[in-house]
């Protein structure tokens, strides 16, 4: 039996604040009315077909709801849900996902055009970037854009500072890429910089650790908790990359209060939404584009191109401009795929309605169908 099976849990420790309480009460009073067997819960681990929940009476496993149930949005680690307890409160059945305050999402891998929500209801996102050979500013740009889009506060955590010979130069490069974002260089081995991160940890607040495989997310969780709660593996000597260890998303309650969400490393991060994030990351470039003489300027040979002039003067970085071009191409491609999917759904809906109308007409006319 789960050690928390029948313990009374204070959900405020898990972030159940006024926003979620009001959302749950509104749904409960208008919809379910099932007394003490209905209660709020938070998704603290996502195993795929099953999720682990924290409820007022302890932890419970639950099946991931099907599309046929009252599910208006994709379920993710960190979500608050309404659950119906069954089998003498031994099992939980998820009935409804409550509105979110924030969400970090990406375009799902594969050919399907769909959003994958990585984490929900996060207050602060630690964007983990390794200071060894895996140091990559273009990747960090993507994470920052998605973080700004999520609504949570981004914080950049540079791990493995003990393996870096040019720390100050790399910190400066990050500062140039992400002006105004807090940056911390830390070492899980020596403990350097770890205490600086604790200012973001407080009761009821949730921090998500996001980054590619092997940057030290699980090791940082173990350092923050003071316990070996997550498995870790050593860095490979040939390419300075760590091996993938985390296999699912899990929310962990820290000893001093607050929660941290560890996530599997992402090999790629394809943006799903990027309006606000692109504005914050490339605001200088987008402001210059508005100064071009022609509204449809391609920024190549046109006269009066503010971008080309800035590149010649060196007032914008050429690599940053190339990154903007690449991301714009990617975003436009995704938007076209979204539009195609919407048109396909609408077309399918029209055909379905038409078939239903034809069926009713034939029935009314006495046809045997």
Asked if residue 170 and residue 48 are part of one domain, the reply reads no
Q: What is the per-residue pLDDT for 354?
A: 53
Instruction: Assess whether 71 and 113 both reside in one domain.
Output: no
86 and 147 together in one domain:
no
Residue 336 in domain: no
Q: Print the domain residue range for 21.
A: 11-97
pLDDT of 341 over the 70 cut: no
Q: Is residue 16 part of a domain?
A: yes
pTM to 2 decimals?
A: 0.81
Last residue of a domain, one of 97, 113, 134: 97
Of 320 and 275, the one with more pLDDT: 320
Does any domain span residue 24?
yes
Instruction: Say yes or no: 24 and 153 in one domain.
Output: no
Tell me: do 84 and 183 sit in the same domain.
Answer: no
Using CA atoms, how far apart are residues 45 and 76, in angstroms rounded to an integer?
Answer: 9
Same domain for 182 and 54? no
Do 200 and 238 lie in a common domain? yes
Q: What is the mean pLDDT of residues 16-37?
A: 74
pLDDT, tens digit (0-9, with 9 covering 90-100), for 177-223? 888 899 999 998 888 999 999 999 999 999 999 988 778 788 888 88
Is 177 in the same domain as 56? Answer: no
Q: Which residue has the higher pLDDT, 326 or 365?
A: 326
Using one digit for the tens of pLDDT, what is the confidence trace for 274-283? 888 899 899 9
The total domain count for the chain is: 2
Q: Of 273 and 31, which is predicted with more confidence? A: 273
Q: Write the secondary structure of 89-145 as one string of H (helix), E (strand) and C (coil).
A: CCEEEEEEECCCCCEEEEECCCCCCCEEEEEECCCEEEEEEECCCCCCHHHHHHHHH
Average pLDDT, the chain: 82
Determine the average pLDDT of the residues in 88-95: 86
Q: How confident is the model at residue 111 (pLDDT cuts 50, 70, 90)?
A: confident
CATH code: domain of residue 84: 2.40.50.140
CATH number reported for the structural domain that contains residue 212 in this entry: 3.40.50.300
pLDDT at 206 (0 to 100): 96
> Which of the four pLDDT bands, split at 50, 70 and 90, describes residue 348?
low
Between 233 and 11, the higher pLDDT residue:
11
Position 244 scores a pLDDT of 44
Nearest partner of 114 among 105, 102, 104, 123, judged by Cα: 105
**Residue 322 pLDDT > 90:** yes
Instruction: Kindly state the DSSP code that residue 185 receives in the 8-state scheme.
Output: E
């Amino acid at each position: 039996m789960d050690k928390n099976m029948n313990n009374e849990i204070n959900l405020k420790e898990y972030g159940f604040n006024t926003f979620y309480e009001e959302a749950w009460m509104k749904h409960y009073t208008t919809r379910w009315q099932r007394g003490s067997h209905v209660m709020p819960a938070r998704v603290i681990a996502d195993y795929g077909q099953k999720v682990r929940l924290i409820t007022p009476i302890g932890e419970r496993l639950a099946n991931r709801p099907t599309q046929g149930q009252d599910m208006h949005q994709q379920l993710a680690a960190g979500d608050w849900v309404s659950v119906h307890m069954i089998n003498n409160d031994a099992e939980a059945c998820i009935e409804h996902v409550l509105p979110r305050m924030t969400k970090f999402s990406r375009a799902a891998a594969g050919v399907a055009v769909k959003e994958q929500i990585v984490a929900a209801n996060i207050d602060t996102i630690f964007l983990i970037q390794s200071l060894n050979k895996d140091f990559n500013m273009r990747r960090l740009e993507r994470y920052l854009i998605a973080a700004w889009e999520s609504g949570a506060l981004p914080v950049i955590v540079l791990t493995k500072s003990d393996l870096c010979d040019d720390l100050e130069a790399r910190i400066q490069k990050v500062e140039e890429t992400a002006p105004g974002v807090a940056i911390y260089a830390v070492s899980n081995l020596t403990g350097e910089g770890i205490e600086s991160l604790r200012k973001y940890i407080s009761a009821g607040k949730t921090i998500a650790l996001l980054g590619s495989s092997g940057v030290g997310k699980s090791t940082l969780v173990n350092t923050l908790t003071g316990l070996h709660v997550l498995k870790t593996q050593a860095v490979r000597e040939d390419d300075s990359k760590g091996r993938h260890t985390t296999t699912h998303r899990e929310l962990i309650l820290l000893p001093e209060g607050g929660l941290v969400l560890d996530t599997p490393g992402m090999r790629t991060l394809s943006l799903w939404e990027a309006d606000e994030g692109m504005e914050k990351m490339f605001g200088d470039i987008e402001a210059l584009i508005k100064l071009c003489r022609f509204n449809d300027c391609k920024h190549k040979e046109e006269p009066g191109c503010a971008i080309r002039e800035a590149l010649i003067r060196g007032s914008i970085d050429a690599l940053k401009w190339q990154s903007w071009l690449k991301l714009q191409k990617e975003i436009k491609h995704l938007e076209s795929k979204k539009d195609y999917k919407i048109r396909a759904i609408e077309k399918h809906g029209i055909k379905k309605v038409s078939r239903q109308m034809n069926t009713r007409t034939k029935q009314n006319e006495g046809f045997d169908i």
